[in-house]
Amino acid sequence: MYGRNRGYMSQSGIPGMTPMVQRIVIANSVVWLAQLVGGRAGLDLTGFGEVSVNGFVDGLRIWEPFTYMWLHATDNILHLLFNMLFLWMIGPQLEMVWGSRRFLRFYLQCGIGAGFVILGWNALCSLWNPMAWYDVTVGASGAIYGVVTAFSLLWPDRTIMLLIPPIPIRAIWFVPLLLVMDTLLGSRNVSVIGHLGGALVAAVLLRSELRTALNWRSLRYRWHRMRMRNRLRAVRREEWERRNDDHRSH
């Protein structure tokens, strides 16, 4: 999917890349390379920073909810690439509106908050599945989902074009769609609760925007617009079919 930030030129000269988004992308990339090189040298940076109930509670590694969001799977570079791609597509528009400091603060709050949601959920799941106590999570997805949620709440009626499948969708419905797809199509390696945690933290931080985007009047307005668009498409389809029939008859 994509947003509409392609016309912006950052201080770095990279189209669509604002300063703080650029720094976050670079930081995640450098950490991923350090994980890769360190792993081959016997230095387990991933194990040091990943978040798990076992590490946080039994190992007293209280830094884990703060560090896991800078780590990514070293055996699958797509994990890093997709997260950074989402950040590049959505993040600059928020940074341009909020400024770099507020954007970074929001990004960190969503990622850290998602880390604690992961811990709480896995601790609860361990009551009937003891192995959940040892489940580990890495990745910026919680923070990324928070950014996408913020975009959806600030510009709920903006159109986003999905890549797979290539269909347009209103921004307000994008996060719910992603979460449903995660649940139905995601593998066990996908932390759905981390994604949901980031979205929930963003919703709490932007609760006034959430009320505005999801109040009854706004929902009724969107429903009315959707019906009008469907009627317009039907009229255009009928006109197109009529012209084709006239062309064939001649």
What is the set of domains in the chain, with CATH numbers?
Answer: 19-214 (1.20.1540.10)
Predicted pLDDT at 52: 95
Predicted pLDDT at 11: 46
How many Cα atoms occupy the beta-carbon half-sphere of 235 within 13 Å?
A: 6
Q: What's the burial of 28, exposed, middle or buried (CB within 10 Å: 0-12/13-18/19+)?
A: buried
Task: Find out whether 182 and 144 touch, Cβ atoms under 8 Å.
Answer: no
How far is 51 from 110, CA to CA, in rounded Å? 15
Predicted pLDDT at 7: 39
Cis peptide bond N-terminal to 165, omega within 30? yes
Predicted pLDDT at 246: 62
Predicted pLDDT at 81: 94
10-residue mean pLDDT series, the chain (250 residues): 38 69 96 93 92 94 96 91 92 95 97 96 93 93 95 88 75 86 70 92 91 67 61 70 65
Predicted pLDDT at 234: 66
Global confidence as pTM: 0.80
Q: What are residue 161's phi and psi, to 5 degrees?
A: -100, 120
Predicted pLDDT at 13: 47
Predicted pLDDT at 116: 97
